[in-house]
Amino acid sequence: MREKWKKRILVTGGAGFLGSHLCDRLVARGDDVLCVDNFYTGSKANVAHLLGKPNFELMRHDVTFPLYVEVDEIFNLACPASPVHYQHDPVQTTKTSVHGAINMLGLAKRCKAKILQASTSEVYGDPEVHPQNEDYWGRVNPIGIRSCYDEGKRCAETLFFDYFRQHKLRIKVVRIFNTYGPRMHPDDGRVVSNFIMQALRGENITLFGDGEQTRSFCFVDDLIDAMLKMMDTPDDFTGPVNIGNPGEFTMKELAEKVLRLTGSSSRIVHKPLPSDDPRQRKPDLTRARQHLGWEPSIPLDVGLQKTIDYFSSTLGR
Ligand code: NAD
Ligand code: UDP
Ligand code: UDP
């Protein structure tokens, strides 16, 4: 029989980078965790260490199909996040965000579960407002190569707020800014893993465009703290709320940092800038500070070193 004090928590995309860290924290806390993943970009290896735990269960399932389970809370993270991967099968990317949201919202409605959506800073597109706050509606190209991800996530937010208004669901929406750390896939294709792997292998560092575009990078542990806090906010707080680290760097600065921290003699080479690549990105964290009482604490140099150590150890294996 189930222990009544334990929460039953569903994590979709739980075998991915962020999802696996979230599962770690929930399992350690004593909740009953159901991790659902179709292993499109995630892997069993990310959660292999949890498989023997009595309060952890792994299920292969694609969220574009209905799912009938009994849960109290849902963290909806299923969706490839790297441009290389989400552009590989763009139709499936939109389906994952939109049909996935419908199915998980339907599940939340039937179970009266609370549900959190992992949305993204990409809803702001290539922004004219800087830093981005949650009241900014964004500047997204609806027909470009990034649209399957950006518009899929925007539509998922629409669905969350319509289920909130129409069906009185308890919803939470977080807009995650670029996050990095151990368990990113070495071939993930995102900038932090690319630069580190290139530096460690002595390959050229591929800097897209002039390298003057900016991003603000958050270490995974800080991000998971914020997600957990968000789920526990009062029911009348839905978000959306930005979570990320406000430290803003150009991609050129990031490449130089990675070279310095790895001591690599790799060369920086320029490659064409992909279309619709946002010029700048930095979260306004006012709302997160106010409602979550949260502030990221891990500076980029410290987080990068931890990530470099992780990738070094995978190379040794
Ligand atoms: P990830 O690619 O490592 O994880 C995504 C997980 O979802 C993978 O395990 C993948 O196999 C799974 N998945 C994909 N499609 C699925 C489907 N149809 N059914 C079931 N599982 C499916 O990426 P991540 O960085 O861990 O991102 C997790 C979530 O956070 C995503 O929703 C992403 O959009 C969001 N997010 C991440 C970042 C970031 O910087 N890491 C930024 C903004 C938003
Ligand atoms: N759904 C699900 N699990 C559930 C309940 C619903 O996967 O436990 C899916 C189901 O496929 C449905 C969708 O969620 O189409 C939306 O559910 P909702 O109840 O909002 O709408 P309806 O069933 O009327 O289409
Ligand atoms: N980028 C780069 N080299 C790479 C991969 C990415 O210069 O090998 C750049 C990319 O053009 C973008 C930034 O780094 O300006 C962040 O890219 P990423 O794919 O990590 O995330 P997103 O563009 O979704 O923020």
In a domain, 199, yes or no: no
In a domain, 194, yes or no: no
Residue 5: pLDDT over 90? no
Ligand 1 contacts (CB < 6 A) are 12-13, 15-19, 37-42, 62-64, 77-81, 96, 100, 118, 120, 176, 178-179
Question: And the tokens for 274?
Answer: 């992909």
In a domain, 43, yes or no: yes
**Tens digits of residue pLDDT in 55-98:** 999 999 999 999 999 999 999 999 999 999 999 999 999 999 99
Coil vs helix vs strand at 269: strand
- Residue that has been written with the tokens 């399932």 in this structure: 61
Q: Residue 3 has what pLDDT?
A: 62
Report the nearest-CA residue for atom 6 of ligand 1: 13
ipTM: 0.98
Look up 149 and say whether it is catalytic: yes
CATH number at residue 54: 3.40.50.720
C-beta of 81 in contact with ligand 3 (< 6 A): no
Given a contact cutoff of 8 angstroms between Cβ atoms, the answer to whether 207 and 168 are in contact is no
Instruction: Tell whether the torsion through CA atoms of 112, 114, 117 and 118 is positive or negative.
Output: negative
Q: Which atom of ligand 1 is nearest to the CA of 122?
A: 43
- Choose the catalytic residue: 149, 163, 180, 310: 149
Given a contact cutoff of 8 angstroms between Cβ atoms, the answer to whether 55 and 6 are in contact is yes
In a domain, 108, yes or no: yes
In a domain, 276, yes or no: no
In a domain, 128, yes or no: yes
Q: Which atom of ligand 2 is nearest to the CA of 69?
A: 8
Test site for ligand 2: of 68, 102, 162, most ligand atoms within 8 A of the Cβ: 102
CA distance 146 to 81: 11
Question: And the tokens for 241?
Answer: 């709320």
**Tens digits of residue pLDDT in 188-206:** 999 999 999 999 999 999 9
**Tens digits of residue pLDDT in 270-303:** 999 999 999 999 999 999 999 999 999 999 999 9
Coil vs helix vs strand at 268: strand
C-beta of 252 in contact with ligand 2 (< 6 A): no
- Residue that has been written with the tokens 């208004």 in this structure: 165
Q: How far is the CA of 113 from the centre of ligand 2 (A)?
A: 13
| Proximal ligand: closest to the CA of 113 | 2
C-beta of 277 in contact with ligand 3 (< 6 A): yes
Q: Residue 6 has what pLDDT?
A: 86
Q: Domain total for the chain?
A: 1
Identify which of 237, 103, 101, 227 has the alpha carbon closest to the alpha carbon of residue 175: 227
Identify which of 285, 245, 251 has the alpha carbon closest to the alpha carbon of residue 270: 251
CA distance 47 to 42: 10
In a domain, 70, yes or no: yes
Q: Which atom of ligand 1 is nearest to the CA of 185?
A: 3
In a domain, 53, yes or no: yes
CA distance 46 to 10: 17
CA distance 39 to 58: 11
C-alpha distances in Å from residue 274, one per residue of 7, 61, 93: 43, 32, 18
To 10 degrees, what angle do helices 251-262 and 191-201 make?
40
Give residue 57's domain range.
8-177+220-245+283-296
**Residue 76 DSSP code:** E
